[in-house]
Amino acid sequence: MTIVNFTPVPALIGGALIGLAAAFLLLAKGRIAGISGIAGGVIYPEQRGDIGWRVLFIAGLVLGGFIYQWLGLGAGVEQIQAQVGKPMLILAGLLVGIGTQVGTGCTSGHGICGLARRSPRSLVATLCFMGSAIVTVYIVRHLLGASL
Q: What string of DSSP letters covers 39-76?
A: HHHHHS-SSTT-SHHHHHHHHHHHHHHHHHHHTTTTTT
Q: What is the pLDDT averaged over residues 104-112?
A: 84
Band of residue 123 on the pLDDT scale cut at 50, 70, 90: very high
φ, ψ of residue 118 in degrees (nearest 5): 60, 40
User: What pLDDT does 127 receive?
Assistant: 93
**Same domain flag for 38 and 21:** yes
Higher pLDDT, 80 or 39: 39
**Same domain flag for 32 and 56:** yes
Average pLDDT of the residues of the chain: 84
**Same domain flag for 50 and 106:** no
Q: Is 77 helix (H, G, I), strand (E, B) or coil?
A: coil
- Residues 3-23: pLDDT tens digits? 666 778 878 988 898 889 889
How many structural domains is the chain composed of?
2
**Same domain flag for 27 and 60:** yes
**Same domain flag for 68 and 4:** yes
User: What pLDDT does 88 receive?
Assistant: 86
**Same domain flag for 4 and 74:** yes
**Same domain flag for 95 and 53:** no
User: What pLDDT does 3 receive?
Assistant: 61
Domain boundary among 50, 65, 80: 80
pTM of this prediction?
A: 0.72
Q: Which residues 6+ apart lie within 8 Å of 137 measured at CB?
A: none
**Same domain flag for 117 and 69:** no
**Same domain flag for 76 and 13:** yes
Q: What is the pLDDT averaged over residues 73-101?
A: 78
* Structural contact between residues 105 and 120, judged by C-beta atoms closer than 8 angstroms: no
- Residues 31-60: pLDDT tens digits? 888 888 888 888 888 788 889 999 999 999
Residue 29 has pLDDT above 80, yes or no: yes
**Same domain flag for 74 and 99:** no
* Structural contact between residues 42 and 31, judged by C-beta atoms closer than 8 angstroms: no
User: What pLDDT does 74 receive?
Assistant: 65
**Same domain flag for 93 and 73:** no
Domain boundary among 80, 114, 129: 80
User: Which stretches within the chain are classed as H helix?
Assistant: 8-29, 35-43, 52-70, 86-102, 115-116, 120-138
**Same domain flag for 90 and 72:** no
Closest CA to 30 of 113, 107, 131: 113
Residue 113 has pLDDT above 80, yes or no: yes
Domain boundary among 80, 107, 132: 80
**Domain range for residue 45?**
1-80
Q: Which residues 6+ apart lie within 8 Å of 82 measured at CB?
A: 89
